Structure 1
């Protein structure tokens, strides 16, 4: 049942949104901003954007209330994105370090620059020798406390420059990428797809120039700075490389993509992420299982409201506002 509306308006609040795969986290917020600006739930009457029907675009527009998110999801990823409005934006940092849960699909035999299917092929390697039993055995080395190195194709900065800029321009890293201590609380293989799936390697491939740029960037800070293919004999296009699904519960700051990438190496192969869902971020979750859990607002409701906010009910609330009311956590 929907929760009763707050007795005092406007409010500041946290709530989870079920982000779809495709859009960036920032574009999700941009879709929300004009809706928030038009809602008495979050904005004082005198500051309301009184534009009716279709909401105006958020770009280059100032709004009377702050909005932010508590941990970016890659465009490829879907699942829980925690949103804060008003004073609740000050609470968002709590969700950067909280425990998170993911479900990810991995494909063997190919490594990409971004460690996921959004990138370009960097290296291919044998994969037919990998069995379910070998994967389950290898996972033992990825549980507990780990020292994890972020991907070189990431936005993390070294001496003020994003790591991906070193890699793309062939600028030598001034020092090794600093490893972070992360904790993998739970990690299990939940589905073995084998070749029964529709995933394929990215069509884009590294050029020889791009390959040398990455090698040059890594040279001097890694003992082995070569990016070489070790392909298996050609197989019919109808035979897909092995894929499987992992479920994990990890500390804040953990790169799921790096776990999959490193697992591929541990198996004597290569691997990258083809699907990723954040199923939980702190107390916000796609499926509520505990009394303190809070579900997420369906993205379809927000997407529909962005086109047309629709009619208000007898209490003066639109469909999207009622959906948020049902999931939000008020911050005083």
Structure 2
């Protein structure tokens, strides 16, 4: 009997469409991957593993997670407004996704002048409108010089950043002052170029139609005042700097855990039980395609259409005359850079206001939009014969590269510890729970198998090179 095909896993990239959440992209991929022949070995392997689980383990899995599907995750979300490179992991490849959170990224964005919004982009509410007739191409090119290199950047008003467990805008909503300074972050812009300049009347970008409320305007003014005060007053003390650094580290840890627990592994909840057919059998969906043909197109999920469509060119614009200019900019930045904050700050730099009208991530790490390691989202709807050969080649290439490069995950360094500290930490850690079929592990030099003494870090045998998994980009 021929040997079964090995399970294929790894990391690849997909071109995310506009208006779709990163989690919905994963759900759509799973819809096409689950009944495919390409991932049949992975599903069979998981089914065999599930069959050996105890009833207790099955109950712990939770409602809606007992269905067998391709394990997937992403290496950093993209906003619904954004398009471009979204890195996805399949199977064991999900363990390498953490390394992509800190890698360099390249974006292309369109900046529209003349108005600012609460979200700093075209899908928010207009906070203010200012004059824009004085803005010229040379003026914008000159302003770009102040954004190159290393700089301190303020997060957007409605970002995920929190203070003492609460989002910024909740303080204003409750009539309370913001408890401390808004933490800026140090970012680095290695490349920043103007790609295209749009004269007034030569583009179809528009401001949002909805204006912000009085409360939202007051909150924005409060935050902008704090930002201005931070930039002009004296530097903080080392104690204040340490407090702010700790707050930022706590936020980064919270955001990383949220990505791992909520969005990294996505499951669809089965809200309705399968009804029985005329013969009394359950109507269960087939896992494998075979003679059944390709899987039907996925239903539109809750994260499929989150962005309003672009305005019709025949729709009257929200201004008189030709309107404001716009500019397309390409930038290569480090992790943690807010493109929408850059657009907002660029408007202030030229004596006006601005918002982000478009955003595309053209590169993340080694994955480049339009290259052979980035799958087009539209290819999924063309059937397995269209996307499977491309995806198989990407995963094979990933595994080939991973086996040749050392494990160098670009994560933040942990505090150094001595061997004695490591030995103490190992010795007091609780013993691993073992299955009934397993024999208890005996420590080196132990006279009895029942001993619970664990070897220190010095006595343990280091893992072989084959056991090391590559997490580099």
Q: Sort the TM-score into its range (normalised by shorter chain).
A: 0.7 to 0.9
Cα separation, partners in 2 of 1:167 and 1:322, compared to 1, 3 Å: farther
Map 1:71-150 → 2, pairs under 5 A: 71-150=76-155
Does 2:269 match 1:202? no
Which residue of structure 1 lines up, in the alignment, with residue 388 of structure 2? 321
TM-score, structure 2 normalization: 0.57
Deviation at 1:322, TM superposition (A): 2.0
SS of the aligned residue for 2:324 comes to coil
Does 2:51 match 1:28? no
Q: Which has the higher strand share?
A: 1
Deviation at 1:75, TM superposition (A): 0.6
Deviation at 1:237, TM superposition (A): 3.7
Asked whether the 8 Å contact 2:75–2:101 carries over to 1, the reply is yes
Asked whether the 8 Å contact 1:10–1:40 carries over to 2, the reply is no
TM-score, structure 1 normalization: 0.79
Task: For 2:176 and 2:84, locate their aligned partners in 1 and report how far apart those are by CA, in whole Å.
Answer: 35
Aligned pair partner of 2:378 in 289, 297, 300: 300
Task: For 1:219 and 1:139, locate their aligned partners in 2 and report how far apart those are by CA, in whole Å.
Answer: 23
Cα separation, partners in 2 of 1:219 and 1:189, compared to 1, 3 Å: closer
Spell out, residue by residue over 1:24-60, the C-alpha distance to the aligned partner (whole angstroms, 9 max, x if none).
1111111122333334544142546xxxxxxxxxx94
Q: Which has the higher helix share?
A: 2
Asked whether the 8 Å contact 1:110–1:123 carries over to 2, the reply is yes
User: Which runs of no fewer than 5 residues in structure 2 stay unpaired?
Assistant: 48-62, 231-316, 403-468
Asked whether the 8 Å contact 1:17–1:81 carries over to 2, the reply is yes
Asked whether the 8 Å contact 2:169–2:219 carries over to 1, the reply is no
User: Which runs of no fewer than 5 residues in structure 1 stay unpaired?
Assistant: 1-6, 49-58, 225-233, 289-293, 311-316
Asked whether the 8 Å contact 1:148–1:258 carries over to 2, the reply is yes
Deviation at 1:204, TM superposition (A): 1.1
Which of structures 1 and 2 has the bigger CA Rg?
2
Spell out, residue by residue over 1:108-166, the C-alpha distance to the aligned partner (whole angstroms, 9 max, x if none).
01111111111110111111111110111111100001111111211222222233544
Asked whether the 8 Å contact 2:182–2:226 carries over to 1, the reply is no
Asked whether the 8 Å contact 1:138–1:263 carries over to 2, the reply is yes
Task: For 1:150 and 1:221, locate their aligned partners in 2 and report how far apart those are by CA, in whole Å.
Answer: 10
Task: For 1:34 and 1:132, locate their aligned partners in 2 and report how far apart those are by CA, in whole Å.
Answer: 47
Spell out, residue by residue over 1:174-193, the C-alpha distance to the aligned partner (whole angstroms, 9 max, x if none).
21221111100000111001
Task: For 2:5 and 2:116, locate their aligned partners in 1 and report how far apart those are by CA, in whole Å.
Answer: 53
Asked whether the 8 Å contact 1:154–1:164 carries over to 2, the reply is no
Which residue of structure 1 lines up, in the alignment, with residue 306 of structure 2? none
Does 2:344 match 1:261? yes
Cα separation, partners in 2 of 1:220 and 1:200, compared to 1, 3 Å: closer
Which residue of structure 2 lines up, in the alignment, with residue 179 of structure 1? 184
Which residue of structure 2 lines up, in the alignment, with residue 313 of structure 1? none
Deviation at 1:214, TM superposition (A): 4.0
SS of the aligned residue for 1:183 comes to strand
Spell out, residue by residue over 1:209-246, the C-alpha distance to the aligned partner (whole angstroms, 9 max, x if none).
3223444567777649xxxxxxxxx9964513110100
Cα separation, partners in 2 of 1:158 and 1:86, compared to 1, 3 Å: farther
Which residue of structure 2 lines up, in the alignment, with residue 56 of structure 1? none
Which residue of structure 1 lines up, in the alignment, with residue 44 of structure 2? 45
Cα separation, partners in 2 of 1:251 and 1:41, compared to 1, 3 Å: same
Map 1:175-254 → 2, pairs under 5 A: 175-195=180-200, 196-215=202-221, 223=229, 237=320, 239-254=322-337
Task: For 1:37 and 1:163, locate their aligned partners in 2 and report how far apart those are by CA, in whole Å.
Answer: 41
Task: For 1:321 and 1:68, locate their aligned partners in 2 and report how far apart those are by CA, in whole Å.
Answer: 18
Task: For 2:171 and 2:135, locate their aligned partners in 1 and report how far apart those are by CA, in whole Å.
Answer: 33
Cα separation, partners in 2 of 1:295 and 1:269, compared to 1, 3 Å: same
How many aligned residue pairs are there? Answer: 292
SS of the aligned residue for 1:89 comes to helix
